[in-house]
Structure 1
Amino acid sequence: MSVIVVAVVLTALLFDFTNGFHDTANAMATSIATGALRPRAAVLLAGALNLIGAFLSVQVAKTISSGLVNEAKITPVVIFGGLIGAILWNLLTWLFSLPSSSSHALFGGLIGATWVFAGPGAVNFSTVVSKVLLPLVLSPIVAGAVALTATYLLYKFTAHREQRGVTKFFRVAQVLSASALALAHGTNDAQKTMGVITLTLITVGLLPVTAGPPLWVIASCGLVIAAGTALGGWRIIQTLGRRISNIQSPQGFVAETSSTAVILTSTHLGFPLSTTQVATGSIFGAGIGRRVGTVQWGTAAKMALAWLFTLPAAAVLGALAARVAATGTTGTAFVAAVAATVALGIFGLSRRRPVTAENVNELPAPARVPAVAEQAA
């Protein structure tokens, strides 16, 4: 391998790490919020199951390595630029506690870098539309609709039962549903970095065009995303668990189960969807299904803006990074230095209001709905 290929592989694994701690909330935010799992135990469990999930499928990885862009028209430097754009967007949204999509940050970074280096003809727009944009729009709607319907029926069914027993039952059930969601997350998100590394190896002729990820790529990506997940993205866990809705155990169970079903179906079909958007859609659906007043629509608007800007913003960052990196070794080193400086600056800003396992549930939850209204819902 050349130095640039090694640099791209390491940068891809760095993105994988940010993906892990950025998306820990997808699986564990509701279980932490309801008390079904202790914060540190939750993220360690999620990390272990992410690792297992990484070995269960490679369909999403193949979509990225041989479908998103024309590998014959790009170089490892282009992929490096795209990854830098994705990492910076991940860190920015993490700083502001916004559960944006790591997947769409990656796609945007790669598309922007490829476009500026090889022109729009090097981007397979049919694949982008069918396997990126359509799932982007449909997956949170489908997950939200399933969660809404299931939550409404569940609260109707349990309305006249002893609530302490209901809460106790669903707290136990949430351990299973959160574990299933963490496993599903590993089957989808870990593969995205596998696909990028495989794409890099294809561009330099180390793998044939139709190759899937080698075992060492699968193992390294699984280990790194697991490590990032186990670190705990507490800022976004706080947002999903406390700022969307006053989550109760039945809602958490429904949201996690709905997300798991959508993610596993998409993984089987090779759709690299946003697990963040699926999980968020399910949480909103569960909140609406219980009662519209329990959902914080101001938070929803902020998330929608983040979702809207993720692809184009990461594309711009990726394009700029690729343009500079393509000028040569000096340009690549300059991009790496700037990215490292920005990352350190973001980390420094985050320490002004740290969110940890100890205070992740201290944010005041949305105002509780009176018991009479809840039963009426």
Structure 2
Amino acid sequence: MADKDLEARHLETLDRDLGRFSGLELATSRVARRMAGPGIAFLFIVAAGLVAALFLGGTGDGLIVVIAAGFGAYMALNIGANDVANNMGPAVGANALTMTGAIVIAAIFESAGALIAGGDVVETISKGIIAPEGIASSDVFIWAMMAALLASALWVNLATWIGAPVSTTHAVVGGVVGAGGAAAGLGAVNWASLGTIAASWVISPVLGAMIAAGFLWFIKARIIYQDDKIAAARRWVPMLVGIMAGAFAAYLALKGLNQLFHTPLGTAALIGLCAGVATWAVMIPVIRRQSEGLENRNRSLKALFNIPLVVSAALLSFAHGANDVANAVGPLAAIVETSRHDGTNGAVVAVPLWVMVIGAFGISVGLFLFGPRLIRMVGSEITKLNPMRAYCVALSAAITVIVASWLGLPVSSTHIAVGAVFGVGFFREWDTERRLRKARVDMPDRDWLSPEERGRRKLVRRAHVSTIAAAWVVTVPASAVMSAAIFLAIRAIAG
């Protein structure tokens, strides 16, 4: 009997030890998975430095450029992790694309946009934010650009970690202001340019929200609330898809392909008009075939918007890659050119192909490793999206840029897209409340939810409003302060 008790105690001890060992294995596995992304990102940064060393050979400032290439790769990773969510989030949230499909499409089109239309030139002092003549020497200029690049990357990294989509362009501008101000004094800062950037914090989301809400109202009034929804869809969906095609054709002419050939606003509008009319004519028989046999209910209408939504996400990614790759490679290209030809700070410089490749692939790698979190947040956590609502968000992004270009207003694509999502959500709240008030008048005897309960069932998550708005406002000053501190540290070390 004693032997059996002893054996039982041994088995119990063994089970506990095995349980602890299994728990340790599970914990180790989870930690390994969490560390895989940062590990791959670190390897990419190292690879970027090796590529820079390979192409620079034995130039005098080779080590500085290798370090700067690492900073540029780090910034590109963060652009992919944060900015691309604005393009893919609505399509994923509407279930028009899976997360895997969104990542693949975005990686292809972001890289294509960066490499095909990413620009042959960059203005190294961030479009007049800092007066070039204020920079004392090429060494000081290089330190300032390195500080701006690292600070903006760190800030975008932090914003991604807290779940806030921010403008990487604003982060880079803040970095240039901070480092340039520390290097040349605050008098060298073009405060008028900063004023227009600050104005875009309000202009971009408000315009995006208004245009998205306007299109959602049109879809509801002309299609969803009609007795014969299918007949209404056959009439209006081809026109809506044509508007989207025209808007994106003009958008790409203005923003995506402008680096290949200059396109005036009038020419871009004409291109958009031709594309829109052609697409409208083509889509009439297509929508008629797609709508055959559909039930007369809202859910049936969603299928008609899926393909336009996927195409819009791809085109947004192409235009984003063409434009925002400069946020990663612009300062890096300036450093490379300055190290090769002493004293070119402030000039317009060529971007080497290997620099563009680092930016293009960095965006794709960052999207693959860290993008899904913000894609989910933009696509489903702010407000619930379906293909029709997501269509309004995507269309708003293109039209707002065109309207802003026409009016000469500064806008941020990040702020536009997120503002459009909020606009759709707040419009749904208003429309639901309006219909509820009407129903209460028509059916006064029915039991209705109390105002308190309706307040708890808001269609837009208020917590995201405050978090994102705060991140937008803080982006420029935060990256500026970080950049100034990094510049002063670099100058002290380089002595």
TM-score (norm 2): 0.61
| Superposed displacement of residue 213, structure 1 | 2.7
Separation in 1, partners of 2:92, 2:472: 24
Q: Which residue of structure 2 aligns with residue 119 of structure 1?
A: 185
Q: Which residue of structure 1 aligns with residue 329 of structure 2?
A: 194
Shift of the 257–124 alpha-carbon distance from structure 1 to 2, 3 Å rule, reads: same
Contact 2:384 2:459 in 1 (8 A): yes
Contact 2:126 2:173 in 1 (8 A): no
Q: Does 1:83 align with 2:164?
A: no
Contact 1:108 1:310 in 2 (8 A): yes
| Superposed displacement of residue 280, structure 1 | 0.3
Contact 2:166 2:468 in 1 (8 A): yes
Across the two proteins, how many residue pairs are aligned to each other?
A: 329
Q: Which residue of structure 2 aligns with residue 56 of structure 1?
A: 117
SS in 1 for 2:222: helix
Structure 1 segment 278-317 matched on structure 2, within 5 A: 278-292=416-430, 293-317=458-482
Shift of the 82–280 alpha-carbon distance from structure 1 to 2, 3 Å rule, reads: same
Contact 1:255 1:283 in 2 (8 A): yes
Separation in 2, partners of 1:45, 1:268: 30
Q: Does 1:145 align with 2:228?
A: no
SS in 1 for 2:83: helix
Identity of aligned residues (%): 27
Letter in 2 for 1:243: E
Separation in 1, partners of 2:124, 2:459: 38
| Superposed displacement of residue 259, structure 1 | 1.1
| Superposed displacement of residue 158, structure 1 | 2.0
Structure 1 segment 1-377 matched on structure 2, within 5 A: 1=59, 2=61, 3-54=63-114, 55-58=116-119, 61-62=122-123, 65-72=126-133, 73=135, 74-130=140-196, 132-159=197-224, 160=226, 161=229, 162-204=297-339, 206=341, 209-263=347-401, 273-292=411-430, 293-329=458-494
Contact 1:22 1:236 in 2 (8 A): yes
Separation in 2, partners of 1:15, 1:170: 34
Separation in 2, partners of 1:49, 1:264: 21
Q: Which moved more, 1:50-59 or 1:79-88?
A: 50-59
SS in 2 for 1:327: helix
| Superposed displacement of residue 18, structure 1 | 0.9
| Superposed displacement of residue 64, structure 1 | 5.2
Letter in 2 for 1:17: L
Contact 1:70 1:124 in 2 (8 A): yes
Q: Which moved more, 1:149-158 or 1:264-273?
A: 264-273
Contact 1:256 1:279 in 2 (8 A): yes
| Superposed displacement of residue 244, structure 1 | 1.1
Contact 2:174 2:478 in 1 (8 A): yes
TM-score (norm 1): 0.79
Contact 2:169 2:324 in 1 (8 A): yes
Shift of the 172–220 alpha-carbon distance from structure 1 to 2, 3 Å rule, reads: same
Shift of the 148–213 alpha-carbon distance from structure 1 to 2, 3 Å rule, reads: same
| Superposed displacement of residue 63, structure 1 | 7.5
Contact 1:64 1:192 in 2 (8 A): no
Letter in 1 for 2:190: N
Separation in 2, partners of 1:127, 1:240: 29
Contact 1:86 1:102 in 2 (8 A): yes
SS in 1 for 2:165: coil
Separation in 2, partners of 1:88, 1:56: 27
SS in 2 for 1:326: helix
SS in 2 for 1:127: helix
Letter in 1 for 2:305: F
Separation in 2, partners of 1:60, 1:127: 21
Separation in 2, partners of 1:95, 1:77: 27
Contact 1:259 1:282 in 2 (8 A): yes
Separation in 1, partners of 2:351, 2:399: 25
SS in 2 for 1:211: strand
Gaps spanning 5+ residues in structure 2: where?
1-58, 230-296, 431-457
Shift of the 66–27 alpha-carbon distance from structure 1 to 2, 3 Å rule, reads: closer
